Amino acid sequence: MLPLYILTSAKNQPILVELKNGETLNGLLTNCDSWMNLTLSEVIQTSPNGEDFLKIPEIYIRGNHIKYLRLPEQTMDQAKEQNLINMEQRNKNQRRRGNNNGNYNNNGNFNRRRNDNNQSNRRNFNNRRFNNNNNTE
Amino acid sequence: MLFFSFFKTLVDQEVVVELKNDIEIKGVLKSVDQYLNLKLDNISCTNETKYPHLTSVKNLFIRGSTVRYVRINPNAVDCTLLQDASRREAMQAAK
Amino acid sequence: MSETDSNVEDLYLESYAFTTAAAIVGSVDRKIFVLLRDGRNLFGVLRTFDQFANLVLQDTIERIYLGSEGSDDLSKPERFGEAYRGVFMVRGENVVMMGEVDIDHEDEHLEVLSQIPFEVAEKELKSIHKQKMKFEKAKTKKLLSKGLINDFAKSDLY
C-alpha cells in the first residue's frame, strides 16, 4: 500500500497539511492526485509564526509545496480494510478469468514482502517488527 | 550515472559522510541509488552529538541532496579507471 | 518449482538492489527516526513508503533537543521536549536522513537529559531559528560584498 493510496483513502477526513514555508492548513481533504496536489474544504490557515489565522472555504494546494501531512489515527486501519476488500475482489475476478501465468513478483509491488513467513537474510534479527494491531510501547 | 556506478563499486567500504550542516557520519556504505542517496550500516557520529538519538541507530538512509562530502579510503579508488570513465562520459555528452 | 521461483526473485532483487525503494523496504514495520529539513526529529513506526521516499509513519512522536538553559548551542543537548503526533505522511524531499531505531536502547540517551514541556521547547527552538536566520542573512551580505557566496537555504534548519 503506497502512501498516495493511503492519502486517497483519507478523503473526506480532517487533515493537517504543513507547507514548506511553515504555514499549516487544517481542513477536510476533498481530493488528491498522483502528484499529491490536494483540495481541502473548510480550511483554517495558520501563518508560520502561529499567530495569524484565515478561514478559507476551499483551497487548492500544489503537491510540491507540501512538507508533511498529519492524518487521523483511523486512516491506517481504514486503508488496510479497503485494501483487503479490493484484494478479495481482485482475486475473485482473477479466479474467474484464470490466474496470471508466471506472476513472479506479486504485481510488481516492491512494497509487499514476498515471503511473509521467511526471514530474508537482509533483516536484522534483533530488531522487532510491529504488528499493526499491537501497540508499539 | 558515472558517480552512481562509482558508488556501486564502493559498497561495503567504510566511508565518512559530511552533511551540509557540518555533521560527520562514519559508516559502511551498503547501498546507493541514482540520486546518490546513501544507505550506511553500523554508523557512528564522528564529531558532534547534535543528534543524541543516533547512538541507538545502526542503519541510516541519507538523502543525496544533503551531502556535502563523502570521504573515501584512497585505496578503494582506481583513479585511472575513473579517468577513463569520465573521458567516455564527456565524449558521449559532446555528441 | 520453488527453486526456479527463488532464482527469478534473486534476479529481481539484484536489479532492484540499488534503488531508493530497496534501501527503505527493510525498515517497514520498524521504529525509525526521521530528520526533516526544518530540523524536526520524528520517531515512529514506518508503515509504507514509495519510490520518492514519501513515508507514512504511525504513532509518531516529535522530539526537540535543546542545549542548556539560556544557550542556543544545539550541539550539546541537555533538555528535550516531546509531542505525540499520530499518523504522519512525510514528503520525501523534506527528509534529510532516516534510520532504524534500536528499541532496546532508544531511550538510553534520554536518561541524561531533562524533559521540558513541548510548547516551551518549541518556542525556544523558534527563537533560536530566528537568530540563526538573522546571523546567516548578515553573513550572506558580508560575504557577497567580498564576492563570495554563503551556501544557506532558508528552509534547511537541520
Taking chain C (158 residues) in consecutive chunks of 10 residues, what is each chunk's mean pLDDT?
Answer: 55 70 92 94 94 94 89 84 94 95 89 91 90 93 94 86
**Which pLDDT value is given to residue B60?**
94
CB-CB contact of C31 with C42 (8 Å): no
Q: Tell me whether C75 touches chain B (CB under 8 Å).
A: yes
Of C26, C31, C49, the CB nearest to A130: C31
**Which pLDDT value is given to residue A100?**
57
Which has the closest alpha carbon to C52: B34, A32, B16? B34
Interface touch C108/B55, C-beta < 8 Å: yes
Give chain B's length.
95
Residue C10 lies in a domain: no
* Residue of A26, A130, A132 best to disrupt the C interface, most CBs of C under 10 A: A130
Which has the closest alpha carbon to C25: C46, C2, C1, C4? C46
Residue C41 lies in a domain: yes
C-alpha cell at A13: 477526513
CB-CB contact of C49 with C26 (8 Å): no
**Which pLDDT value is given to residue C8?**
59
Which residues fall within 8 angstroms of residue A137, CB to CB, at 6 or more apart? none
* Residue of B29, B30, B33 best to disrupt the C interface, most CBs of C under 10 A: B33
- pLDDT, mean over chain A: 80
Closest chain A residue to C156, measured at CA: A20
Q: Tell me whether C63 touches chain B (CB under 8 Å).
A: yes
Say how many C-beta atoms besides its own lie within 10 A of residue C45's C-beta. Answer: 22
Alpha carbon of B3: minimum distance to chain C alpha carbons (Å): 13
**Which pLDDT value is given to residue A118?**
46
| Residue with grid cell 564529531, as numbered in its chain | B47
| Residue with grid cell 533537543, as numbered in its chain | C65
Q: Cβ contacts (< 8 Å) between B37 and chain C: which residues? A: 20, 23, 53
Q: How confident is the model over B12-23, as a mean pLDDT?
A: 93
Alpha carbon of A12: minimum distance to chain C alpha carbons (Å): 16
Q: Cβ contacts (< 8 Å) between B4 and chain C: which residues? A: 18
Interface touch A70/C85, C-beta < 8 Å: yes
Q: Mind spelling out the 3-state secondary structure of C61-108?
A: EEEEEECCCCCCCCCCCCEEEEEEEEEEEECHHHEEEEEEECCCCCCH
Q: Which CATH architecture has domain B2-94?
A: Roll (2.30)
**Which pLDDT value is given to residue C139?**
94
d(CA A24, CA A16): 7
CB-CB contact of B68 with B18 (8 Å): yes
Q: Cβ contacts (< 8 Å) between C153 and chain A: which residues? A: none
Q: Count of H helices and E strands in chain A? A: 2, 5
A107 vs A47 pLDDT, higher one: A47
Which has the closest alpha carbon to B69: B92, B42, B46? B46
Alpha carbon of C35: minimum distance to chain B alpha carbons (Å): 9
Interface touch C20/B49, C-beta < 8 Å: no
ipTM field: 0.89
In b/e form, how buried is each residue of A36-51, taking b as 16+ CB within 10 angstroms?
Answer: bebbbeebebbeeeee
Which has the closest alpha carbon to B37: B70, B9, B78? B70
Q: Count of H helices and E strands in chain B? A: 2, 5
| Residue A98, helix vs strand vs coil | coil
- The whole-model pTM stands at 0.82
Catalogue the long-range contacts made by A38-47 (C-beta closer than 8 Å, 24 or more residues apart): A38/A63, A38/A66, A40/A15, A47/A23
Output the domain CATH number for residue C110: 2.30.30.100
A53 vs B37 pLDDT, higher one: B37
Q: Tell me whether C41 touches chain B (CB under 8 Å).
A: yes
CATH of domain A3-74: 2.30.30.100
Number of domains forming the structure of chain C? 1
Name residues 86-115 of chain C within 8 A of B (Cβ): 92-93, 95-102, 105-106, 108-109, 113
Q: Cβ contacts (< 8 Å) between C74 and chain B: which residues? A: 50
Alpha carbon of C1: minimum distance to chain B alpha carbons (Å): 31
* Residue B45 reports pLDDT greater than 60: yes
Q: Domain range for residue C84?
A: 27-145
Residue C93 lies in a domain: yes
Q: CB pairs below 8 Å between A and C: how many?
A: 101
Up-side HSE of residue A86: CA atoms within 13 Å toward CB?
Answer: 9
